[in-house]
Structure 1
Amino acid sequence: MSKRSKYTLEEKYKILMDYKNGVGSIQEICIKYKISTSTFHEWRYKYEKHGMDGLEESRKYKKYSKELKERALQDYLSGKYSQME
């Protein structure tokens, strides 16, 4: 399981807005806030898809059945969906 984010909803939003407002490149912003570029892209994707709700930290860990995981893997391998989707 992944660890919980040390960034609040507001901090994630500020980081994304810094980039949007031209404060720096993705690389520069990631260095400044000590996050990986993959984390930045994940937050950006979630924000674009779900707005502020996408940046909200889940309050509990989710459990998925083996069958659901296998179907998700098959969908990904078929090329129909991306890893994020």
Structure 2
Amino acid sequence: MTTDNVILLGFVSESDGEFKLVGEQFTEEPYGIGIEKGDVEFCEFINQTLADNEDAYVAAWEATAGQIEGTQTPELPEPAECV
């Protein structure tokens, strides 16, 4: 079965050992946050909030999906410019 890594990790965590994550990641499909075009103030707020809470992001990952053997904590990507 193939799908997003986090969905696969959910299947693994609930399978009582019947599933495991194998192989290397073969695509990179980043998630995003959609906002109204031109809302620079809100964009900057989102980017700053993410930057200020990177430790919480890492802790949330490691307490959930990061518990599955073979996972690596993903780094937050550089935010896009707000225009």
Calculate the TM-score normalised by the size of structure 1: 0.26
Larger radius of gyration: 2
Higher relative contact order (CA 8 A, sep 6+): 2
Calculate the TM-score normalised by the size of structure 2: 0.26
